[in-house]
Amino acid sequence: MESIQFYLPVRIVFGRDCVLQQAPGLFREQGQKALIVTGRFSAKKNGALDDVEQVLKQNQQTYVLFDQVESNPSMDCVYEGAALARQVQADFIIAIGGGSPMDAAKAIALLACQDIPKAQLFTQQPRGKTLPLICIPTTAGTGSEVTQYSVLTNDAQKTKTSLAAPCLFPQAALLDGKYMMRLPRTATIHTALDAFSHLVESALSKSASVWSKKLALKGIKMLQPYLSRLDASEWSLEDRDALLQTSLLGGVVIAQTSTTAVHLMGYPLTYFHHIDHGRANALLLCAYLEKVEKHEPASIQEILDALQLENLSQLNSIMDRLLGPKETISLEEAKQFASAAIQSPKSQSGIISLTQEDIENIYCRSFHLAFQRP
């Protein structure tokens, strides 16, 4: 009998106006003063910040706003946020936004309680006390509201690096599709493709269990009616809720399995070419699936069945249309990125083993470069 572990200590609340209806009690449980962590603009436009401030005022709780989180948060950002949390003696943190604010908030919650030098942040396993964290996602992509990962820009390594530990799990996640009604078309596409990548990568992970794989394939089936029309100009509230549910499932399953080489390969595209994280994954995904299919065709067929597609060529056509013109990378960059990627254990986390040549070939196929064998 297969040994199965499944750990998800996050209280999930999903529904219309759940912040206004459920947050009062959740916020009161955490203490008197909150640090709100978010970006500069989106939370103020989509109504999420207004709802959080209304609840805190209703509870007679105080709060301080830290709205300096940039896309792909830096170490400087999270150390600044942590210093503010200590200065104002915050009891808990509320993260509002997409993956960047939520990932930043996890690191801030850790650093507010522990004095970890910058030089040791990515080498020291996070453990011990963190500030309680409640996440309110305003995009449907990362699933960070239910994971133990905090992905930050690592300038020393010229890539993005994950902090990963059970202590980084949020206490609760409040999900409401209404906060995404004004999400731009491009952001809708890229974040949904990030969720799609999470679901697919988890299904193809060495660490997948019977439970996690069933949930991953269920998430892919839920996304199937929306995948080909992610570039639609209008979305109903029900559509937004559905995308948010698939993103949530993507987070749930990668919390069990982590991601694969696709994410690892996408990080330098974001670091060096400023390509959105979800887009970077999507640019690489089909070439990766083609490689897996050569060795594990049954696993790819399960994904195709969930998508109601006959072959990977059909999926590739959908992705090409959604992604539009691709960015340009050089053959030399493909070689450099592959050389760096093969050093990471995550390069071998999928159900097939990859060589440096395999990774380079995936880059080349994804960006139509002339692959040169050594």
Mean pLDDT of 272-287: 97
| Average pLDDT rounded to a whole number, residues 86-104 | 97
Look at residue 371 and tell me whether its pLDDT is greater than 80.
no
- β-partners of residue 63 are 34
Which CATH superfamily groups domain 185-366? Dehydroquinate synthase-like - alpha domain (1.20.1090.10)
The DSSP H or E segment spanning 148 is: none
Task: Return the pLDDT at 153.
Answer: 96
- Structural domain boundaries of the chain? 11-180, 185-366
Give CA–CA dist 340/334, Å, rounded. 10
* Coil vs helix vs strand at 280: helix
Distance CA 56, CA 224 (A): 38
Reported as a single tens digit per residue, the pLDDT across 202-255 is 999 999 999 999 999 999 999 999 999 999 888 999 999 999 999 999 999 999
Do 11-180 and 185-366 come out as alike in CATH topology? no
pLDDT of res. 240: 97
User: Does the structure show a pLDDT above 80 at 301?
Assistant: yes
pLDDT at residue number 45: 87
Q: What's the pLDDT band for 167 if we cut at 50, 70, 90? A: very high
- Check residue 41 and give its pLDDT: 76
Q: Say yes or no to pLDDT of 107 above 80.
A: yes
pLDDT of 373 higher than 80: no
When pLDDT is cut at 50, 70 and 90, the band that residue 40 belongs to is confident
Q: What whole-number distance in Å separates Cα of residue 194 and Cα of residue 285? A: 10
pLDDT at 374 over 60: no
Query: Is the Cβ–Cβ distance between 282 and 193 less than 8 Å?
Result: yes
**What's the pLDDT score for residue 372?**
65
How high is the pLDDT of residue 43? 80
Averaged pLDDT, 265-278: 97
pLDDT at 39: 94
**For residues 100-104, average pLDDT:** 97
Q: What digits encode the pLDDT tens for the residues 321-353?
A: 999 999 999 999 999 999 999 999 999 999 999
The answer to whether 289 and 352 have CB atoms below 8 angstroms apart is no
At 259, give phi and psi (nearest 5°).
Answer: -100, -170
Q: Which candidate, 101, 54, 50, places its Cα nearest to that of 78?
A: 101
pLDDT at 263 over 60: yes
Q: How would CATH label the architecture of 11-180?
A: 3-Layer(aba) Sandwich (3.40)
Average pLDDT over residues 40-50: 88
